[in-house]
A = this chain, B = another copy of it.
């Protein structure tokens, strides 16, 4: 186990020039000074990896052109990396994690787990066998008020959950996709069988399960490729049934013109409800059966331990996406240091996400109506 006094050393896999998520991982990892980026296999192109190393301001000798090289050379160093962060496109997750785990290196991996369910199942087997820390960056579960809603629901604040509405509208793929970000996400080979469902639907799915503590048991799905010429879905809508019988809806879209990143979760129970929006993440509305409505805000004295731990500034000083992301990394650091309390998503969450993608894609393609969601046994 790693001693608690020093910063943990991260090696980044992917995140080369033009990457959106690579720099985000770097900022998130380092925000709380628990972790330090020291190495990277940023690109399989040696020149591009070297350029990235300069941008990230790391020691040039630690900008590698392959994960294998990084694993090998860092292992030989007295201050080598403590873990890797995998931020490559989905199809590359499995081989990257396999290599790292085989080298005895813990992994934090971007979502979804893999490109296909079969890969995810293989990944799960590897992770379970490796007994090394592993986390998946379902970022939105890192927001303080998301964690507060989760804690309050677990504490009985709204009674039994009856209804869940989770939505995730975006508009950036409404026109013809352009740029590197869009490119691989609409390509079945690199992204997998799901488009919108894999890119953002799984976020919404995880958020709903994370906050409610429930598990989806059945679903009806309608996925479509709206923009002409597109192969993967860019809009999806699902009706859900949870394991306690609660009814739910999941709407995700990347063709909703004008929407930025509109993830929103509403949960209604017997005696209350919660409403949270990612774009104004420091407000959580709590409804009470007696007709009272509370605006719970980040920094409020009524917040519980998880929300307090997940914040850095007093109320009114907005924290956002990077800080939420950083909370996942802080959780992962707790795992690395052998400390309890991590709320970071793990491989089982990853598996469920992959099952969601394959189940929804199949159910929609074959117009199946209600289908079972085969995953309860894992949890």
Contacts and interface: CB of A to CB of B under 8 A. Distances in A.
Given A257-B271, A258-B285, 10 more contacts: A7-B57, A23-B312, A162-B226, A226-B247, A257-B270, A258-B272, A278-B318, A290-B301, A318-B318, A369-B369
Interface string A294-319: 11110111100000000011111111
B257 A312 contact: no
Contacts of A33: 26, 30, 37, 56-57
Nearest to A21: B313
Contacts of A287: 171, 257-259
B171 A273 contact: yes
Contacts of A321: 313, 317-319
A323 B323 CA distance: 10
A27 interface: yes
A256 B288 CA distance: 10
Interface string A164-179: 0101011110110000
A182 to B, nearest CB: 12
Interface in A3-52: 5-7, 20, 23-24, 26-27, 30-34, 37
A115 to B, nearest CB: 23
18 contacts: A31-B31, A33-B37, A33-B57, A158-B257, A163-B226, A163-B253, A165-B167, A171-B273, A174-B289, A257-B269, A257-B288, A260-B314, A260-B315, A279-B282, A290-B301, A295-B295, A319-B322, A322-B323
Contacts of A220: 220, 222, 239, 369
Identical copies of this chain, number: 4
B367 A370 contact: yes
Contact of A261 (B27, B253, B288, B317): B317
A124 to B, nearest CB: 29
Interface in A242-291: 247, 249, 251, 253, 255-262, 266, 268-273, 275, 278-282, 285-291
A33 B253 CA distance: 34
A174 B170 CA distance: 31
B249 A249 contact: yes
Contacts of A131: none
A180 interface: no
Interface residues of A, number: 94
Contacts of A286: 258
A137 to B, nearest CB: 13
